[in-house]
Amino acid sequence: MFCPFHNDAEWQRLKRDEPEEFERAVAFERAVKETKGKTVNINATLFLHRSCVPLDQVDLSTEEERGQTSMFDNGFNNECEGMCGV
């Protein structure tokens, strides 16, 4: 459930549809950081999200939700049709 390979859509779904599980993931991430602080074997800071930001602080909104228009949304997995000639 707390896989660091989740994409933003899955983290967003978890936060929206299963808030208790999302909070468990946040608590797990915090516990790992606290444990890391008590050891000498781990030198890196560990995060569950690829942005290396604590999970409860990550902006999980989509580009469209942030105001970015999808120029390639043609219903075919956002593939370019070659219309521009580039």
Give residue-wise pLDDT tens across range 3-34. Answer: 888 899 899 999 999 999 999 999 999 998 88
Q: Establish if 40 belongs to a structural domain.
A: yes
Q: Establish if 81 belongs to a structural domain.
A: no
pLDDT of residue 79: 55
Q: What is the mean pLDDT of residues 40-45?
A: 73
Domain count, the chain: 1
pTM of structure: 0.68
Domain residues for the domain of 30 are 8-57
Which tokens hold the place of 40?
Answer: 């000498």
Q: Establish if 78 belongs to a structural domain.
A: no
Q: Establish if 76 belongs to a structural domain.
A: no
Provide DSSP, 31-69: HHHHHHHT-SS--SPP-SSTTSS-GGG-----TTTTT--
CA atoms within 13 A on the CB side of 80: 5
